[in-house]
């Protein structure tokens, strides 16, 4: 099998960009690695850490470098559009963090560019690359559940985690930033069945008092064209010292011939220590008790990174270098997820049903 050498540009040197660059630096196909960030100090620190061949505070400088043939966009959500379009116009495949964008107008600009250029773009919904979710998807594909008649999911996290998200991207609400994973997952399990309507309710309280126009709790029902009902809920307002690194989730798939229940609260993997554990996402935040493996991106252990982000990044690089299949979210799937999450926000805000385009 002939393999292609890769030149990878990682745009954005924050937490996830750092993980992506580390994974790329360890992949055998990567012969050239460039990193950037509008914060030159951040870019420099990451470049030194991963021994990058090129480091810059100018994103376009690394995207356009002739040795780069694929681009990873790890900027905050509201900064996705420009580097994505730049890479697509240069004919370079793009991997971008979820969600694709924060508005339908921006999402449609990206989808149009993908269609016009024919350049591949995939989105980093890393839940797809957690072993449990992937195995569940395989059972659905094998037909062991029969037709899916309903899906129910909920995800919890601490307010300390949400406040860090708001610092990074003030427009990234719990629905747009986190529930988006579970919208993507429900749509993936339902294949080509289209969502047609959303109803939702939200509860203002803690965040409103802190000056943020977001709900503490949001619950939604999405109706699909075949009558399947998907019930999704989110609360990112648990106490700041709740013992989780990240998402505590449940996901249930109800079929005509079977059921799958994924319990991902991680209460089976528990640590207590008088010395305190630094939070994986929130700087200078320590907990004494921790549900281990609750960091949804994965964990460093014994000098290697393990978990969904590592699996997802390696799978993408394998796909580009060796042509292996990949299960990453496509641009059109990402567009559908953005539309549904925005509809959940609108329905929760207005109390009215929202019809979907069916695209």
Listed as own residue / partner, the contacts of 326-329 with beta carbons closer than 8 Å and 24 or more positions apart are 326/122, 327/128, 327/129, 327/134, 327/137, 328/95, 328/122, 328/123, 328/124, 328/125, 328/128, 329/98, 329/122, 329/123, 329/124, 329/125, 329/128, 329/184, 329/188
Cβ atoms of residues 9 and 72 within 8 Å = yes
Mean pLDDT by 10 residues, the chain (359 residues): 89 95 96 97 97 98 98 94 98 97 96 98 96 96 97 95 87 91 97 96 93 95 98 96 89 98 91 90 87 86 91 97 96 97 97 92
Q: How many residues does the chain have?
A: 359
Q: How far is CA 242 from the centre of its chain?
A: 22
**How confident is the model at residue 28, as a pLDDT?**
95
The answer for residues whose C-beta is within 8 angstroms of residue 191's C-beta and 6 or more apart is none
d(CA 208, CA 228): 34
Q: Helix (H, G, I), strand (E, B), or coil: what is residue 1?
A: coil
Q: What is the pTM of this model?
A: 0.94
Q: Which two tokens stand for residue 76?
A: 């905050």
**How confident is the model at residue 1, as a pLDDT?**
60
DSSP symbols for 20-48:
HHHHHHH-TTEEEEEEE-SSHHHHHHHHH
Number of H helices, E strands in the chain: 12, 18
Cβ atoms within 10 A of the Cβ of 241, count? 15
Nearest to 166 by CA among 252, 61, 236, 261: 236
**How confident is the model at residue 271, as a pLDDT?**
92
């Amino acid at each position: 099998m002939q393999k292609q050498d890769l030149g990878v540009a990682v745009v954005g040197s924050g937490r996830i960009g750092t993980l992506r660059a580390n994974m790329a630096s360890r992949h055998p196909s990567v012969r050239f690695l460039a990193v950037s960030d509008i914060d030159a100090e951040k870019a420099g620190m990451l470049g030194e850490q991963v021994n990058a061949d090129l480091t810059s505070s100018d994103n376009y400088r690394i995207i356009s470098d002739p040795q780069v043939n694929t681009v990873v966009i790890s900027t905050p959500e509201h900064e996705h559009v420009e580097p994505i379009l730049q890479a697509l116009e240069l004919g370079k495949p793009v991997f971008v963090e979820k969600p694709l964008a924060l508005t339908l107008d921006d999402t449609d600009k990206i989808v149009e560019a993908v269609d016009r250029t024919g350049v591949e773009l995939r989105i980093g919904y890393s839940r797809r690359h957690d072993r449990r979710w992937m195995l569940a998807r395989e059972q659905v594909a094998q037909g062991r559940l029969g037709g899916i008649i309903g899906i129910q999911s909920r995800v919890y996290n601490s307010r300390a985690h949400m406040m860090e998200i708001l610092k990074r991207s003030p427009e990234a609400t719990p629905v747009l930033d986190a529930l988006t994973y579970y919208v993507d997952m429900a749509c993936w399990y339902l294949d080509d069945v289209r969502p047609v309507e959303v109803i939702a309710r939200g509860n203002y309280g803690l965040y409103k008092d802190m000056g943020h126009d977001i709900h503490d709790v949001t619950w939604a029902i999405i109706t699909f064209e075949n009558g399947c009902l998907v019930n999704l809920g989110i609360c990112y307002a648990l106490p700041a010292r709740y013992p989780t690194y990240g998402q505590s989730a449940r996901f249930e798939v109800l079929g005509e011939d079977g059921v799958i229940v994924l319990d991902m609260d991680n209460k089976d993997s528990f640590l207590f220590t008088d010395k305190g554990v630094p939070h994986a996402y929130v700087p200078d935040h320590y907990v004494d008790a921790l549900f281990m493996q609750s960091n949804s991106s994965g964990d460093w252990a014994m000098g290697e990174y393990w978990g969904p982000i590592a699996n997802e990044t390696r799978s993408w690089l394998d796909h580009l270098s060796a042509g292996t299949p990949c299960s990453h979210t496509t641009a059109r799937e990402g567009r559908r997820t953005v539309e549904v999450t925005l509809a959940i926000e609108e329905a929760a805000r207005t109390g009215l049903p929202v019809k979907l385009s069916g695209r």
